[in-house]
Structure 1
Amino acid sequence: MSDWVKWLLLGLLSIAFGIFVLGAPVVASVAVTVVTGVLLLISGALQVVGGFTVEGAGNKILSLIMGAVMLFLGWSFLDHPLQGTLTLATVVLILFMAGGIARIILSFQMKGTQFFWPTLISGVLSILLAGYIWSYANAEPAVLLKLLGILLGVEMLFNGIGLVFMAFFVKSAPKETKEA
């Protein structure tokens, strides 16, 4: 099977899963939370084990505390996945807002360049998106349960479309000649 066909199949698979995820965003959101919980448990356990091998009392204490926090969060996400989903969705909203503010501040450092307006608009749009989702979530709290799934589904669709275009690019690209 040629490379471009593999990329095409991967892209189509990503699009199919994206559509599936968008059809059941709450289930996908909870799945993201469960996977996050498992990864936090693994990371926390490794951090605690690593904490015993770190030099210096301050580093050891910090490493053990961070490991314990990750273990607690992982266990909490697995024990209460719906509450964990709400927590993760709130963190995503905060990151949208913080990223928007950071890009607005950065844009003023780019004043007078070609990058000012795109960076400023990007920051403003992130803040508006976070505000829109937050106001909608206040009216209907269940929207936060769907947020992670919707974002995952949209990302999978965009990823799939990008892979399909890449497959056709690879197909049409000239073949490299091998020199011995």
Structure 2
Amino acid sequence: MGNWLLLMIAGILSIVAGFVALANPFGASLLATTIAGWSFVILGILQVFAAFGVEGFGGKIWALLLGVVAVVLGVNILGEPLQGMLALTIVVGIMFVMSGVFKVIFGFGLEGSMKWAVVLSGVVSLVLGAMVLSNIPGSAVVALGVLLAVELLSNGMSMIAMSLAVKDADA
């Protein structure tokens, strides 16, 4: 039995969760926003504690300040999840656009068959970013949920593939 079965179960659960997220993208967006909020709070608290171990007064102050900012950001996102969802969606849209720009520039600098794959990936990122940003605030209620769903589906498929590879290797 072993590890392959656990990977298979985790993969199936991830795929089921992905379909649930696709069926309710607003709920999934709210969940993604809540996870982001708690992540900022927890990582901010850890940063504050880590700041006391930083060498030098300036480094200690910056580390402490960054930790406090992360905690405040997380608390604000948790306290106003719809505004947090809007802000996170804008950040995601900007990240898609920036990623697209860099992939297109990098792609045109390549030679051979990889060039057009990277350029195409960049164009897809640009289009996705433009779609998200052109429909704010409407896209805010579904964009994060759809991205979470795609990530869950992708992770599920890769976990199932890994489980089958591990099972074959054990046989």
- Normalised by the size of structure 2, how large is the TM-score? 0.89
Structure 1: unaligned runs, 5 residues or longer: 176-180
Q: Hey, what does 1:9 align to over in structure 2?
A: 9
Following superposition, the deviation at residue 85 of structure 1 comes to: 0.9
Alignment of 1:1-180 (within 5 A): 1-110=1-110, 112-135=111-134, 137-138=135-136, 141-173=137-169, 175=171
Identity of matched residues, %: 38
Residues of 1 paired with 2:170 and 2:7: CA distance? 17
Following superposition, the deviation at residue 174 of structure 1 comes to: 6.3
From the superposition, tell whether residues 142 and 49 of structure 1 become closer, same or farther in structure 2 (CA, over 3 Å).
Answer: same
Following superposition, the deviation at residue 37 of structure 1 comes to: 1.3
Opposite residue 140 of structure 2, the aligned amino acid is: L
Residues of 2 paired with 1:163 and 1:157: CA distance? 10
Kindly tell me the number of residue pairs found equivalent between the two proteins.
Answer: 171
Residues of 2 paired with 1:3 and 1:162: CA distance? 15
Residues of 2 paired with 1:39 and 1:51: CA distance? 18
Following superposition, the deviation at residue 88 of structure 1 comes to: 0.8
From the superposition, tell whether residues 169 and 54 of structure 1 become closer, same or farther in structure 2 (CA, over 3 Å).
Answer: closer
Residues of 2 paired with 1:173 and 1:52: CA distance? 47
Encode CA deviations 1:103-129: one digit per residue, 9 max, x unaligned. Answer: 11211321x233211111111111011
Structure 2: unaligned runs, 5 residues or longer: none
Residues of 1 paired with 2:43 and 2:76: CA distance? 14
Which secondary structure does the structure 1 equivalent of 2:152 belong to?
helix
Encode CA deviations 1:17-44: one digit per residue, 9 max, x unaligned. Answer: 1111111111111112112111211221
The CA RMSD over aligned residues, in Å, is 1.8
Opposite residue 130 of structure 1, the aligned amino acid is: G
Residues of 2 paired with 1:50 and 1:172: CA distance? 44
Following superposition, the deviation at residue 158 of structure 1 comes to: 1.9
Residues of 2 paired with 1:55 and 1:3: CA distance? 43
- Normalised by the size of structure 1, how large is the TM-score? 0.85
Find the structure with the greater CA-based Rg.
1
Note if contact 2:47-2:64 (Cα within 8 Å) is conserved in structure 1: yes
Q: Which stretch shows the higher mean deviation, 114-123 or 53-62?
A: 53-62
From the superposition, tell whether residues 7 and 53 of structure 1 become closer, same or farther in structure 2 (CA, over 3 Å).
Answer: closer
